[in-house]
Amino acid sequence: MIRIKSGSFVFALVFGSLWFLSSCVETVEEQQIVYYNNFSGVDLAGFENGRLFVWRGDTIAGYYNNEEIAVSIPELPPHNYLKITVELLIHDTWDGNPSDGGVSGPDQWYMGADDTEFFRTTFSNTPCASTFCLYQSYPNNYFRQNIPKTGAIQTNLPGLCLFGTTPNYTTRYRVEQLIEHINPSVRVFMGDNLLQTNSPDPRCDESWSVAAVQIETILTNK
Ligand SMILES: [Ca+2]
Ligand SMILES: [Ca+2]
């Protein structure tokens, strides 16, 4: 009698936990690309501060130094997440994490949606040796000590301005961020706080461009 009771109790406990676990698994019900722009169509609808130029045969937005750009999408399908993917080009002599008395760093880049910044990091294009290295935070949020170019998808491009003829001075990244978001519209912004007070032309010393932006809405059963 007692055995049967405890057995059914265990059964109920195991079954109950399984039901609880399966009901907690979050699954994607709908995923949709609501914005994609690689600027090849020279389409800047909804874009703020979208300057285009051709670099190595590709039309891209840039190049920026101490500037912000944004793209607004007025009507989004129902969603509870946004996935934002930016193909970012980091040009010339970014100095990464170090704050050397506010002369050349930190060199920060950030991204946000609506009124909320959700990602702030640094990039470094400088050579790195065991005795001297200007670390960067990417792919993590600032502050984290990663070696220069960590997480890059291409590192062998020449610089754009100061090191325009020197290989390995533009680094390409695919920055991906998944954020919780339910508003029916969105304004995605990105910008930099670059520091190079000892340069006569800071924008030539270090800058960034955007080769593509993609925004996806995701609806889950959560
Ligand atoms: Ca620099
Ligand atoms: Ca700098």
For residues 164-190, one letter each, b for 16 or more C-beta atoms within 10 angstroms of the residue's C-beta and e for the rest, the string is eeeeebbbbbebeeebebeeeebbbbb
Q: What is the CATH classification number for the domain harbouring 112?
A: 2.60.120.260
Other Cβ atoms closer than 10 A to 196: 23
CA of 73 to the centre of ligand 1 (A): 34
Is 69 within a domain?
yes
Distance, CA of 81 to CA of 108 (rounded, Å):
25
Is 111 within a domain?
yes
Helix (H, G, I), strand (E, B) or coil at 31: strand
Is 195 within a domain?
yes
pLDDT digits (tens, 9 = 90+) for 116-136: 999 999 999 998 999 999 999
**How many separate domains does the chain show?**
1
For residues 13-35, one letter each, b for 16 or more C-beta atoms within 10 angstroms of the residue's C-beta and e for the rest, the string is eeeeeeeeeeeeeeeeeeeeeeb
Is 13 within a domain?
no
Of the bound ligands, which one is closest to the alpha carbon of residue 195?
Answer: 2
Cβ atoms of 206 and 62 within 8 Å: the answer is: no
CA torsion, ordered 150, 172, 98, 195, to nearest 10 deg: -170
- pLDDT given for residue 5 in this prediction: 46
- By residue range, what is the domain housing residue 49? 29-220
Is 23 within a domain?
no
Is 20 within a domain?
no
For the sheet with 68-73, list strands across it.
Answer: 47-48, 68-73, 186-193, 108-113, 116-122
Is 172 within a domain?
yes
pTM of the shown model:
0.89
pLDDT digits (tens, 9 = 90+) for 2-17: 444 444 555 555 555 5
Is 12 within a domain?
no
- pLDDT given for residue 127 in this prediction: 84
Residue type, 89: L
Q: What is the mean pLDDT of residues 198-215?
A: 98
- pLDDT given for residue 222 in this prediction: 83
pLDDT digits (tens, 9 = 90+) for 144-199: 999 999 999 999 999 999 999 999 999 999 999 999 999 999 999 999 999 999 99
Query: Please, which residues have CB less than 5 A from ligand 1, an ion?
Result: 93, 95, 196, 205-206
CA of 194 to the centre of ligand 2 (A): 6
- pLDDT given for residue 24 in this prediction: 78
pLDDT at 104 over 50: yes
- pLDDT given for residue 7 in this prediction: 47
Distance, CA of 87 to CA of 24 (rounded, Å):
34
pLDDT at 77 over 50: yes
